[in-house]
Structure formats: C-alpha cells, structure tokens
Amino acid sequence: MAKRHLDRIVLVGFAVMAVLLFISTASYPGIAQKTSALYVKFLAASMGILAVVQLGFSIFRDNDTGKLHFTDHMPRFFGLLIALIIFGAVFEYVGFFISAGLFIPVVAVLLGYRNYLVIALTTVSVLAFVYLVFEKLLAVNLPGFSL
Amino acid sequence: MLEHAMVVLQPYSLLTILIGTIAGVAIGGMPGLTATMAVGLLVPFTYTMDPALGLMLLGGIYCGAMYGGSIPAILLNTPGTPAAVATAIEGFPMSQKGKAGLALKVSVVASFVGGFFSVIILLLFAPLLARQALNFGPPETFLLALMGLAGIISIADENSSLIKALIAGLLGMVIAIVGTDDMSGSLRYTMGYIELIDGIDFMPALIGLFSMIQMLELAGMRKKHEIDVSALHKKQRNDPLPKGIFKYIAVGAGTGTVIGVLPGEGATIAAFISYNVSKRISKVKELFGKGNPEGIAAAEAGNNGCVGGSLVPTLTLGIPGNSVAAALMGAFIIHGMIPGPDLFNEYADRTYPFIMSMFIANGVFLIVGLTIAPYLARIALIPPAILVPVVSAFAVLGSYALNNAVFDVFLMIAFAGFGLILKKLGFSLEALILGLILGPIAEGGFSQGMIIGKGSPWIFFESNIAKIMWVLIILLLVPPLYSYWKNTAMVKAPSLDDQD
C-alpha cells in the first residue's frame, strides 16, 4: 500500500474518532457536563481540526508515491508478532518458565540464528536469572504451571 | 541530609547502585536498547523491592545507559543509544587513528562531569521548585500540564511534522480519558472491560512503544548491520587528557542540564546542541568530523547532563523532561509517591537517597569506563536474533508483573503494533506518551479549575502564578516554532531554485 494512502486512512480514522468523541460527551452525567465533558470536547475538536488540516496537506501537497516500508522481512516480523501473541495467551496457563523456555529458542531460530548451543545457554541463563532475581530475590509473583 | 547520605552508603544500597549502573552501561552499549527501554522494562519489577533501593537501581541504569552508548560509538562506530551519535562522529575516527584510549577517557570523564554537575543542580533546585508547587491550585496544575505539552512542539523534527506531533500528543490525552471520570464517577469508553476501569496504565504503553517496537523492527531487518571491528584489534595508545578539554566539558554539562530541564527535549538533542556549540567556539573547527576530542567532550557531557536536568521538572512538577524521566516517574507512582512537594517532605527518606545515589552511579561508571570499557564494546556484537527474544520475553513479563494481568500484555502488544504504524507514518511516539502521562493531570486541573471558577475559563488567567506560567508557555513555544518555520522555509527554498 502507498504510504500516503495509509496516512490518509489513519487521518480519516482520527477525524471520525474525534467526531464520535465529541458526540459522546452529550451522555456525560450531571457535573461532568461542565467539567470533563468540556475538556473532552476540547480534545476532540483540536484533534478533529488538526486531522482534517493534515489530511488537506496530504491530499493537496503530498506527491510522494512511495510504498509504506514496514519491514524488510515479513515472515520474521509477523513471526515474532504471532509468537508474542501466543506467548501472551498461554503465559498465564502454562506459566512463565515453560512458555519463555519455548518462546526464546523458537524466536531465535525464526530470526535465522542456528547456533543451538548459544540458544540453549541463553535460554537457560535467562530462565535462571528470572528465577533467582525476580522470583526468589524480588518475590515477583510469576504465573506458574496451572493446567 | 547526612541521614539520607548514610542510606546511600549502606552496603545493600551500594550493591544495588553498582548492579544498576553496570547493567545500565551494558544496556546502553547494546545498539537497539535504550535507557527508556531499560528503565521501562524494569519499573514493574521494582514494585516488590524496597522503594528507595528500587529507585536507586533505576537511577543507576539511567546514568549508566547514558554513558554506555558512547563505548561502541567510539570503538565500533555503532552508537549504543541515539544520544551517542554525535560521539561516534568524532570517536570512531580517533579509534581508527589508534587513539581509542584517549577517546574513551575523554568520553567517560566528560560523562562523569556532566552527570555529576546535573545531579548537583537537581539536588539544589528541585526542593526549591517543589516548594513553589505548594502554591499551585487546580488552574495552575492545568497550566503546568499545558507547559509539559508545549514540549510536543519541540519534538517535531524532520521525521515527524508539527501537526502530526500535536495529533500524537492529543491521541495520548484521548487514550488517557479511558476509565472512570473523576468528576461524576461514571465509566467512560471502557467497552465493558473491567481492566479499563482504572484507565490505561502507561507502563504497558511505554514498554510497547519504546521496547517492543524496537524489537519488531530489529526482527524485520533483512540486512545485518555490518560492524567495523578493526579498531578493537588495533594497538591503541593511552594519551593523557588534552589541555583545555574541560572548557568543552563545561559547555556540554551546562547545555545538557538546561536542555534536560525543558519538557520534551531529550539527551540526543542535548548532545547535538552541545556538540554544535563546541564546534562554534573551537579554535580547531576544521578537525571536527575527523576525530576531535573536543566534540566527544561536549556531546558526552551534554547527554549525561540531561540526566539530572530531566529529573528537575519530573520530581517537582510531575512533568517528565524526556521519555526516560517519564519511565522513572512511573516508578515513583507505582511506589505511591506522586511527584511534587510531597517527594521532598513526606517521602524525603526515599527521594534524597535516590538523588544522592546518582553521584555514586556517576562514580561507578567512571571507574568502569577507565578500566574495562574496551571489553564492554563487545556487547554490541551480540546478534539481534538472541537479543530480540530475550528482550521480548522481558517486555511480556514486565507488562504482566505490574498488575498480574494478561490484559496488560495484550495492551503492550497492541501499543507496539499500532505505534509502529504511527511511527512509520511520521507520528511522534514521544508526543503520544507525553500526552498519555500529562492527560490525567491536565483533565484534573481543568475540571477542578472550572468548578472553582464557576464555569468561567478566566480562572486560568487570574492568579499571578498563572500569568507567569502563560508567559513561560509562550516562551517555550516560540523558539521551536520559529526554528520549525525557519527549517521548513529552508527546505522549500532549494526546491524553488531547482524549478528555476
């Protein structure tokens, strides 16, 4: 997608959000009408105006036809994103140590690293560090295995 | 004061500062890892620590990371942090000439002097400024938040347009209104999520925006950044400090501290401005860019001078001077210490030891820098494929640990994903986080001010303090707006010439 197209979509999104935000203040109860609602209206109006002005600049002045360059390596970028989501989802159920014990080597391999000894040593070191420092020394409450 | 100094000199405190500073130097030395990322990731873990020790650890990381970025900048031409870019310009040519020992020595001495000076300023002026804050009512608090937001104007640069920086700041303020409305007690925009009743915590946002985005970008890099390691194998001389170098260190320390105090101005700007000032006053201008230690002295004193400076408005007024100070402010808040006069009265037993610990932290990195800096440069050679999963795991853990909520982990991932889109489109993430932090302060001051003023906005102009603050806001806005206008005009001028 061209960068300017996504830019315009995002700016339209901000403008729409500003309008919805402004309208939503009508439902603020009692004293909030004279206080918080005014503040939110100010934010919404400022944001809406700026988004429209920037949109105008983008439409009338931006001749950049370049594509949006998100990443050089899509599989690795999205691989990390997906791995993160899975890590976040299972983290509470299987516990930090099992999920991180899988996450770190899987992502390292996904990113093209093939020195398995270094990967294993790094994983064990990180887990040992978290266990000793966070769980034992700082008494941080990490989720444990609960399946 | 003596009793606070004694707290810092306890063995546990010294050990904590030592660990924090060395960890900071190591983190600062890894390209891709910044002080904001390090402090942001570790804030949630200090929750269970003794507050004074937790803050000392983070203070050590801040001081250490600011210096650490200069080591790979000098030896490998790879700045560990953005603030060390100016150092690389002079440091690496020196290394290639076999003068890395001198470059490293100038860098660490300048960092030490800059950091030490800025902490003295913090110690002297923060309590005075905090006392003034006692006179602030809700209207002045609102203006204070506006003053902080004025910093957004100076965030705008060639990568982020002025309007987009303002939109990002407003977006942060809009995100901050999610949760319970303090005026009516009703819920706003929580979409039924009970996790949002207290609003969106800025720590997952900070970790997502400043740590996870960096990792996603590193993961998606196809080409490996080739690091020139030739200087590491070259025989290096260890010359004494050049005569007159302290003039440039003093320039950097002063400039960095003043810039650090201004909201929105970070260590990178402090380093570059100090570097440019030193170039202007130097008798050997022609040597700049070819390995001039004067440039290293000014830049390093400048970025470390920013440390104490940035904490002046953060601790006294609750306005973070830069993104690392914002992360540190988060640490104070999670320990129940709200920035302002209370920090220097009720919580003096934690605040003063924290400030004093930074003197020790500066001393620690001075020793580290003078003894083992060349070995630390090898940290920059850690492959991103190892760095990314480790930092990502800590990002997930850090987001979770604050509230023991998986919701915060997904919030962090969402901020990283959406933040990356905004970054690529030229919206400023610093402005977004500033808006997110200052939003609740602005709303509280505005709403209470409107009640006191019985609905009249004139309440925000009535008191003498308010009038002074409006003048300060205008003074903060005019120079960056003028320089922005000048830069825009300069960019346009050649294009018109080209058409001719």
Taking CA–CA distances from B456, the nearest residue in chain A reads A34
More confident residue, B453 or B132: B453
In a domain, B497, yes or no: no
Task: Identify all chain B residues contacting A140, using CB atoms and an 8 Å cutoff.
Answer: 45, 47-48, 401
The pLDDT of residue B111: 95
- Cβ atoms B306, B267 nearer than 8 A: yes
CA distances from B90 to B6, B82, B245, B285 (A): 40, 15, 14, 12
Nearest to A126 among B177, B390, B409 (CB): B390
Region of B191 please: left (phi>0), alpha (psi -120 to 50) or beta: left
| Claim to verify: residue A80 and residue A46 sit in the same structural domain | no
pTM: 0.83
Best B30, B160, B167, B452 residue to mutate vs chain A (most A CBs within 10 Å): B167
Average pLDDT over residues A54-58: 90
The pLDDT of residue B154: 63
Q: If pLDDT is split at 50, 70 and 90, which confidence band does B499 have?
A: very low
| Claim to verify: residue A55 and residue A102 sit in the same structural domain | no
| Claim to verify: residue A57 and residue A82 sit in the same structural domain | no
In a domain, A18, yes or no: yes
Q: Which residues in chain A (41-80) have CB-CB distances under 8 A to chain B? A: 43-44, 46-47, 50-51, 53-54, 57, 68-74, 76-77, 79-80
| Claim to verify: residue A92 and residue A121 sit in the same structural domain | yes
Can you tell me the ipTM of this complex?
Answer: 0.93
Best B47, B447, B488 residue to mutate vs chain A (most A CBs within 10 Å): B447
Best B57, B160, B216 residue to mutate vs chain A (most A CBs within 10 Å): B216
A142 and B397 within 8 Å at the Cβ level: the answer is yes
Instruction: Determine the distance in angstroms separating the CA of B163 from the nearest CA of chain A, rounded to an integer.
Output: 6
Instruction: Determine the distance in angstroms separating the CA of B347 from the nearest CA of chain A, rounded to an integer.
Output: 22
| Claim to verify: residue A46 and residue A93 sit in the same structural domain | no
Phi, psi (rounded to 5 degrees) for B375: -75, -35
| Claim to verify: residue A51 and residue A79 sit in the same structural domain | no
Residue range B362-392, pLDDT digits in tens = 999 999 998 888 777 777 778 889 989 998 9
DSSP structure class, residue B180 = E
Residue range B207-263, pLDDT digits in tens = 898 888 988 988 888 766 666 666 666 666 667 888 889 999 999 999 999 888 876
Share of chain A above pLDDT 90, in %: 56
Q: Tell me which residue of B230, B225, B227, B240 sits closest to B96, measured CA to CA.
A: B230
| Claim to verify: residue A53 and residue A78 sit in the same structural domain | no
Q: Tell me which residue of A80, A78, A76, A116 sits closest to B390, measured CA to CA.
A: A80
A113 and B385 within 8 Å at the Cβ level: the answer is yes
The pLDDT of residue B269: 80
The two structure tokens encoding residue B265: 């101005």
Average pLDDT over residues B88-98: 86
In a domain, B68, yes or no: yes
Nearest to B167 among A6, A51, A92 (CB): A51
Q: If pLDDT is split at 50, 70 and 90, which confidence band does A34 have?
A: confident
| Claim to verify: residue A52 and residue A83 sit in the same structural domain | no
In a domain, B230, yes or no: no
Size of interface A-B (CB pairs under 8 A): 183
| Claim to verify: residue A88 and residue A133 sit in the same structural domain | yes
Average pLDDT over residues B112-138: 89
B181 and A88 within 8 Å at the Cβ level: the answer is no
Task: Identify all chain A residues contacting B420, using CB atoms and an 8 Å cutoff.
Answer: 70
In a domain, A17, yes or no: yes
| Claim to verify: residue A45 and residue A82 sit in the same structural domain | no
Neighbours of B280 (CB within 10 A): 10
Best A36, A74, A76 residue to mutate vs chain B (most B CBs within 10 Å): A36
B163 and A118 within 8 Å at the Cβ level: the answer is no
- Say if residue B140 is exposed, middle or buried (CB neighbours under 10 Å; 0-12, 13-18, 19+): buried
Q: How many domains does chain B have?
A: 1
Instruction: Determine the distance in angstroms separating the CA of A60 from the nearest CA of chain B, rounded to an integer.
Output: 16
Nearest to B446 among A39, A74, A134 (CB): A39
The pLDDT of residue B363: 96
In a domain, B413, yes or no: yes
B48 and A21 within 8 Å at the Cβ level: the answer is no
Nearest to A140 among B48, B212, B215 (CB): B48
Neighbours of B152 (CB within 10 A): 28
The pLDDT of residue B293: 92
> Does pLDDT of B2 surpass 60?
yes
Taking CA–CA distances from A9, the nearest residue in chain B reads B425
Q: Which of A9-23, A28-42, B78-92, B412-426 has the lowest mean pLDDT?
A: B78-92
B389 and A111 within 8 Å at the Cβ level: the answer is yes
Q: If pLDDT is split at 50, 70 and 90, which confidence band does B490 have?
A: low
**Residue span of the structural domain in which A41 resides:** 3-61
Q: What is the residue-averaged pLDDT of chain B?
A: 85
Neighbours of B71 (CB within 10 A): 35
| Claim to verify: residue A57 and residue A78 sit in the same structural domain | no
| Claim to verify: residue A90 and residue A123 sit in the same structural domain | yes
A111 and B447 within 8 Å at the Cβ level: the answer is no
Taking CA–CA distances from A5, the nearest residue in chain B reads B425
Residue range B416-435, pLDDT digits in tens = 999 999 998 989 888 898 88
Average pLDDT over residues B294-316: 92
B413 and A88 within 8 Å at the Cβ level: the answer is yes
The pLDDT of residue B108: 94
Instruction: Determine the distance in angstroms separating the CA of A36 from the nearest CA of chain B, rounded to an integer.
Output: 6
B442 and A119 within 8 Å at the Cβ level: the answer is no
Share of chain B above pLDDT 70, in %: 91
Exposure class string for B267-276: b at 16+ Cβ within 10 A, else e: bbbbbbbbbb
B386 and A113 within 8 Å at the Cβ level: the answer is yes
Residue range B310-357, pLDDT digits in tens = 899 888 888 887 788 888 888 888 888 888 778 888 888 899 999 999
**Residue span of the structural domain in which B119 resides:** 2-221+242-492
Q: Is A84 near chain B, with CB under 8 Å?
A: yes
A84 and B182 within 8 Å at the Cβ level: the answer is no
> Does pLDDT of B128 surpass 90?
no
- Say if residue B159 is exposed, middle or buried (CB neighbours under 10 Å; 0-12, 13-18, 19+): exposed
The pLDDT of residue B497: 43
Q: How many domains does chain A have?
A: 2
Taking CA–CA distances from B142, the nearest residue in chain A reads A39
